[in-house]
Amino acid sequence: MQHLVDTDQLSERQIKDILGDTARFKTRRPAPLLSGKLLITLFFENSTRTRSSFEVAAKRLGADMVHLDPSRSSTKKGETLEDTFANLCAMEPDGVIIRHSENDTPSRLAEMEMVPVINAGAGNYAHPTQALLDLYTLYEWFDGALEGLRVAIVGDIINSRVAASDIRLFRRMGIRVSLVAPKPFMPPVSDLPQYERIEEVLDDVDVIISLRAQLERHKKPIFDDYEAYARRYCITEDLLEDRGILIMHPGPVMRNIDISDEILEDPRCMVLDQVRNGVYVRMAVLKLLLLDSRETDPAEI
């Protein structure tokens, strides 16, 4: 049984297959490959993009989807998450997609080996499908030439599961990653080049991935004034000038703090392209986990 807790569970071949299937699905809507399959989502944290993107992806492949609203579930009556998961698995879904504030929740459920588990974002540990859609966005834009690409990740890196997953996956693909953040947002230990000012990297990067300040993960407020933060870290026209740097952001974007209104409308900005690609990438991930990687039922031989 294959799970997706983070992309290190994927072989090089599987990553290539995901990129290839994504490109194919984008060009031509596939047959309902997952007709008769059922997925259950369990989102313990808010989501706009990931949850709806998984649902669109599943439906485009002919699968059904059931959403359990954790705020109305029996976890509120004291049922453990493992018991909730086991009860959902007793309904025989083909996969469970989970988002949770704890880093190890998807891996704990995956270790129960009841059904393929897909991590839709866990704490500040991992967000594998975001990393895959970010990778695909680069792969498409740079015509497959990922090796040696220079990416700067800017913002609240220490609290970002997107940064954590992007860094692991991008380095594996030969992409050179640098980190730009004020000290409270910078990981204390990292072997990646670190900078405090964006201006230090502007002439040496192909891509900037801007991140939102993850206020919900700050135990106490880190900055009193996010306008002062924005004056140093917001991606603006004045900062970029005519440099051909691609601008990405996983969303939700804090306008004029992470990225200015003007840059969000600029052709260099890939934010909505990332969301569009996310559907096709998740279609490819669902195909991989539910179809390509499943053990063959002896009755089917």
Q: Which stretch binds ligand CP (CB under 6 A): 9-17, 58-66, 176-184, 245-253?
A: 245-253
Three-state DSSP class for residue 57 = helix
Q: In which residue are the tokens 């588990």 written? A: 117
- Contact between 47 and ligand CP (CB under 6 A)? yes
Count helices and strands in the chain by DSSP H and E runs: 10, 9
- In the complex, the smallest distance separating the C-beta of residue 250 from ligand CP, rounded to whole angstroms, is 4
The Cα 85–Cα 279 span in angstroms is: 25
Nearer to ligand CP (CB atom), residue 33 or residue 124: 124
- Contact between 70 and ligand CP (CB under 6 A)? no
Q: Which stretch binds ligand CP (CB under 6 A): 6-14, 19-27, 250-258, 293-301?
A: 250-258
Candidates 1, 32, 48, 243; binder of ligand CP (CB under 6 A) is 48
What is the residue-wise DSSP string for 66-77?
EEE-GGGSGGGG
Q: What is the dihedral of CA 108, 39, 101, 174, to 10 degrees?
A: 80
- Contact between 276 and ligand CP (CB under 6 A)? no
- In the complex, the smallest distance separating the C-beta of residue 249 from ligand CP, rounded to whole angstroms, is 9
- In the complex, the smallest distance separating the C-beta of residue 41 from ligand CP, rounded to whole angstroms, is 11
Exposed/middle/buried for residue 106 (C-beta within 10 Å: 0-12, 13-18, 19+)? buried
- In the complex, the smallest distance separating the C-beta of residue 209 from ligand CP, rounded to whole angstroms, is 12
- Contact between 251 and ligand CP (CB under 6 A)? yes
Nearer to ligand CP (CB atom), residue 201 or residue 277: 277
The Cα 181–Cα 186 span in angstroms is: 6
Which residues make Cβ contacts (< 8 Å) with residue 214, sequence separation at least 6? 124, 156, 159, 160
Per residue in 139-175, is it b (16+ CB within 10 Å) or e — as a string? bbbeeeebeebebbbbbbbbbbbbbbbbbbbbeebeb
Q: Which stretch binds ligand CP (CB under 6 A): 180-188, 204-212, 230-238, 244-252?
A: 244-252
- Contact between 50 and ligand CP (CB under 6 A)? yes
- Contact between 87 and ligand CP (CB under 6 A)? no
- Contact between 250 and ligand CP (CB under 6 A)? yes
Could you list the residues that contact ligand CP (CB under 6 A)? 47-50, 121, 127, 130, 250-252
